[in-house]
Amino acid sequence: MMKKIKNKLSEIHILLFLKLIPYMLREYWTFSKQMARCQMSHYPEKLLTDILMTTHALEKAFSLHNLKKGFGVAKSIQLTDNIEKYISKYGYSSKLEVPISLITAYLSYQKEVKFSNKELDYVQNKINKIIESIKQPETNFNKAGKLSLSKNFMQNLTNANFKTLAENRYSIRHFGDGNISEDTIQAAIKIAQKSPSACNRQAYRIHIFSGEQKDLILSTQGGANSFYKEANKAILITGDLNRYYSTEMHLPYIDASLFSMSLIYALTSLGVASIPLTMGRKLSVLKKVQGMEIPQNEIPVLLIAIGSYPDEIVVSKSARFSPDTFTTFH
């Protein structure tokens, strides 16, 4: 009898919620204390986060086909000031190579399109002083900006080894007019199904949007405003909460993310252009997405815009750190 009562109680929603409160409070407390915005001026990694976010905001513009003359002046000032601040407080770090590279590439582009003003002069003078003071080889600062790719090469990665495939996976922000068939998407999903999942529960769910629904979900996400109409389709990967227990709150995100990365590689191998767009957004955004016929038991994890490659493929270099800067052997 007691066992039956215990089993029944374990299924009651309010009791499960109460059980989760200590876990959630501890997690939110830790996150709020360690997140980048908390005491950013006191920790180098937190200031570096701000630098990297601004670097990305500027660099991704290089992969757009309708790049505007004079874009990003305010962000270039913010980035240069933060680089100077970081070096003055913590000294030079190799992790600043990409941000400094980006500023030099940005200034070169503005010079190329014959745009100038006093704000850009400020950035130019400051970055010149920074580079002079840190005494690093100039070759260290060519790791950002734009990169042109061969359409024929990108469409024929099917038989590439994994190293070649991974090194040529890029986020595409300008798509061609070609249609991506359901058969191609299903083939990519089939490949991605070999992704591991907790206890092989395979709790990821896939929703594919076309036409107006594609435009709606991509525009709702907010990170694709400059190219969402060019994308042919949008793929939303969710995690099915019905497949998890009360102590597994993070597993839906882990399982769906493992599947998502495999899916992106599979799409790349099949000649499909893509860009992942995170769903770690405000509750209002998640609520709108949930309203697009997504079951309440599914949590949105990642949105992928897909399409064909354009005739001229331009991407951001988006250089990576050296592995020894984030790897620890115990």
Sheet holding 273-278, edge to edge: 204-209, 233-240, 298-307, 273-278
Span 186-238, pLDDT tens digits: 999 999 999 999 999 999 999 999 999 999 999 988 888 889 999 999 999 99
The one-digit pLDDT tens for each residue of the chain (330 residues) are: 666 666 665 667 777 788 888 888 888 888 888 877 777 777 899 899 999 999 999 999 888 877 888 899 999 999 999 999 999 999 999 999 999 999 999 999 999 999 999 999 999 999 999 999 999 998 899 999 889 999 999 998 988 999 999 999 999 999 999 999 999 999 999 999 999 999 999 999 999 999 999 999 999 888 888 899 999 999 999 999 999 988 888 999 999 999 999 999 999 999 999 999 998 766 778 788 878 889 989 999 999 999 999 999 999 998 999 999 999 999
Span 77-90, pLDDT tens digits: 999 999 999 999 99
Supply the Cα-derived Rg of the chain in whole angstroms: 23
**CATH number for region 149-314:** 3.40.109.10
Interhelix angle 97-112/44-59, rounded to 10 degrees, is 30
CB 271 within 8 A of CB 278: no
Count Cα neighbours of 126 within 13 Å in the Cβ-side half-sphere.
20
